[in-house]
Amino acid sequence: MGERLSIIRLQPGCVLDWWSHIGGGQDRLAAAYPRARRITVEPAPPGRQSLPWWSPSRWRAPSAPQRVEQVADGQAHLVWSNMSLHTVFNPLESFARWHRALAVDGFLMFSTLGPGTLPQLRALYERSGWGPPMGPLVDMHDLGDMLVEAGFADPVMDQETITLTWSNADSALLELRSLGANAASGRFAGLRTPRWRARWIDALAGLAARGPAGRLELDFEIVYGHAFKPLPRARVAAESRVELADMRAMVKARRARPSR
């Protein structure tokens, strides 16, 4: 996703790095926009819940990241969200929040997992009767429709399939856990046992999908999305309501237009 920043001519003055600790794009954004103000946005302070209870860092107030509810409307020229959208239950709500956070002519760039992710693991769970291994993932065309519904313009969607390999199933499990929890409504409701974990490791190690070097292979569909926030338009009706921020944007844009 960072390679695509070069095709955008707009130089944002304010960048919202959404769920920064998941996306890992700090260095890329700093290199692309060294003069921009970068705001890291987190749903909760990253890593604090995983600290031991006796750690002093657990009780210190976070300084850098902002919570989602603290993000002001219309302050950003770029919302950047790398590999976080698949962790939320309703992508449309996220699109609406990003739309509010952007200024007019600001743009959104995001990536997420698509429904072609981990077909080997899905087939394994289905054969074993273990329920779904992850929540439902949204097709890129449906995500594009959601962008339009949320008020974005000129959405561009594409995808690619990336194959990752591991030397053994234990290494794969360790990395798969970093993708987030299983948000599927039909997932197993209780805690798995050590015996089940051993069965899982044996089953994954026995998958036929192995590369020339004998490494375990799993496929991931990566979906990329890009869209702009257009100038708001007041809907014509007997009674029309326009948000104050949208009204200010329309007035500002009208004043900026050259006289004919």
- Domain definitions of the chain by residue range: 2-229
The tokens for 185 are 């409504």
Q: Looking at 12-135, which runs of residues are DSSP E strands?
A: 14-18, 37-42, 66-67, 76-82, 102-113
* pLDDT value of position 107: 96
**Which CATH homologous superfamily contains domain 2-229?**
Vaccinia Virus protein VP39 (3.40.50.150)
φ/ψ of 14, rounded to 5, equals -140, 125
- How far, in Å, CA of 61 to CA of 30, rounded? 25
According to the model, what pLDDT value does residue 59 have?
41
Taking Cα atoms as reference points, which of 3, 241, 33 lies closest to residue 16? 33
Q: Give the per-residue pLDDT at 65.
A: 64
Residue ranges of the chain with pLDDT lower than 50?
Answer: 46-55, 57-64, 257-260
Contact 109, 81 (CB under 8 A): yes
What is the total residue count of the chain?
260
